[in-house]
A and B are shown apart, each in its own frame.
Chain A
Amino acid sequence: MIGIVGYGSYLPRYRIKVEDIAHQWGKDPETIKRGLLLKEKTVPGIDEDTITISVEAARNALKRAGIDPREIGAVYVGSESHPYAVKPSGTVVAEALGIVPDVHIADYEFACKAGTEAMFVSYSLVKADLMKYAMGIGSDTSQGAPGDALEFSASAGGSAFIFGKENVVAEVLETYSYATDTPDFWRREGAFYPLHGGRFTGQPAYFKHIIGAGQAILEKSGFKPSEFAYAIFHMPNGKFPLTVGKKLGFKKEQLEPGWIVPLMGNTYSGSSPTGFSATLDVSKPGELILLVSFGSGAGSDAFIFKVTERINEVRDRAEKVKDMLENNRIYLDYGQYAKFRGKIIMAE
């Protein structure tokens, strides 16, 4: 059996409410809350970035796995906000976890699906018997330009998954990936904020790729939507995942535990992985879970997991996503938020 032997997440404690962003730019908060189904989003502390978030998420995954970190053969960090343009995030993460030096390290990028890419490669290496354990992390401190629609959603957080063959918590039953060249969202080297193709981000990008990957993995596996306890789809806002879930034949109850975007925002590479982590937090042995990510550019990675008895042993070894979302929140006003996110031009 090959699958996840440990999982963990991390969300910063800082938040900003949709109202505060809307007031800043003279927009009607109720229209935005209704349109995007968002209430608030996480904001990284001044001393947090993709690397620190990855370390905290990975520490929680290690607590649940209960393994010697030195047995992990690969560490892959997927993000679109790696702190360095040149110098890997993964080396700092692996060093902090005590995994170095006998380890393969790489950083992944593919807009919001870099996290599931890291998971897919980790799973594949374990399946190929090249290593005992491999860890895939999806984590981001996403930025949206001031006043842009993305500013309401772009948030921070991440999740880590250790793949292995012993003491599996969630077995991988099937995987499928689907990708095309689609210019829906991009950021050129050196540009601070990403740009997007407006309405172009919906139908030809998000929906086409998630439905493409979703339908293909259902067909390949032979499972029907009704056989799944839960499904998680990438969450750029509150509405898209509910719509795509419905189109694929899933009910809202199946999406509920992983649909954490109203309180979390869109954590980009950490979005669907953290929804999956929140779902594992409440799942029971024998349940089937569908996970489909989406990354602009564009592509989707799909996974089918089957939860094992082991979940009951590891679940309480680390903090759950729901607790991170609901406890210890510190609210920022727009001015504090602008300072935290480096949006204020300081004297040199």
Chain B
Amino acid sequence: MPSPRYWRETPQRYRLEAAKCKQCGKISFPPRLVCLGCGNKDFDTVKLSDKGKIVTFTTICVAPTQFTEEAPYSIAIVELSDGVRFTTQVVDCTPEDLEIGKPVKIVFRKIQEEDKTGIICYGYKAVLT
């Protein structure tokens, strides 16, 4: 069975929807119930930019079971043009292609399959532009 949490996170995983504090303007991604900037609980839903750059990265050589076919692969902290940072896989490249500061674009990809007969989970990843 798909994780109900994964399904509840569809807006952020599929559409990069974030919560923007109505009081101080801080953007939370993933969305939060309480603003880390000012403690306010009122948010607007905003869609994040699909462009950003690599802040830092690492390469996974020994992968968890469901990702062994993809190893070695790269995980990066990406900063989008709206200032939001998050961790994501960088695909369609080799680890040698990555450099801090390189521009990336956010794309829609398969994240994992529960197994051959299970639900396919989709979400965001980054590619070099």
Residues of A within 8 A of B (CB): 12-14, 45-49, 51-52, 55-56, 59, 83-84, 92, 95-98, 328, 330, 339
CB <8 Å contact, B109 and A48: yes
Distance between Cα atoms of A295 and B85 in the complex (Å): 45
Distance between Cα atoms of A82 and B65 in the complex (Å): 25
Which residues does chain B contribute within 8 Å of A48, judged by CB atoms?
Answer: 109-110
Nearest CB on B from A138, distance (A): 17
Nearest CB on B from A38, distance (A): 23
B40 CB–A CB distance under 8 Å = no
Determine the main DSSP class of B at the interface with A.
Answer: strand
A84 — nearest CB in chain B belongs to which residue?
B120
B81 CB–A CB distance under 8 Å = no
A49 — nearest CB in chain B belongs to which residue?
B110
CB <8 Å contact, B122 and A46: no
CB <8 Å contact, A52 and B14: no
Q: How large is the interface on B (under 10, 10 to 19, 20 to 34, 35 or more residues)?
A: 10 to 19
Known A-B contacts A45-B92, A48-B110; A83 and B15 likewise in contact (beta carbons under 8 Å): no
Which residues does chain A contribute within 8 Å of B70, judged by CB atoms?
Answer: 46-47
B58 CB–A CB distance under 8 Å = no
Which residues does chain A contribute within 8 Å of B127, judged by CB atoms?
Answer: 13
A-B contact pairs, 21 of them (CB 8 A): A13-B92, A13-B127, A45-B92, A46-B70, A47-B70, A47-B91, A47-B110, A49-B110, A49-B120, A51-B120, A52-B107, A55-B108, A83-B120, A92-B122, A95-B10, A96-B14, A96-B122, A97-B15, A98-B15, A98-B47, A339-B69
Nearest CB on A from B6, distance (A): 13
* In the complex, per-residue mask of B94-123: 1 if CB is within 8 Å of any chain A CB, else 0: 000000000000011111000000001010
Additional pairs, 9, CB under 8 Å, beyond known A13-B92, A45-B91, A83-B120: A46-B69, A47-B109, A48-B109, A51-B120, A51-B122, A52-B109, A55-B108, A92-B122, A96-B122
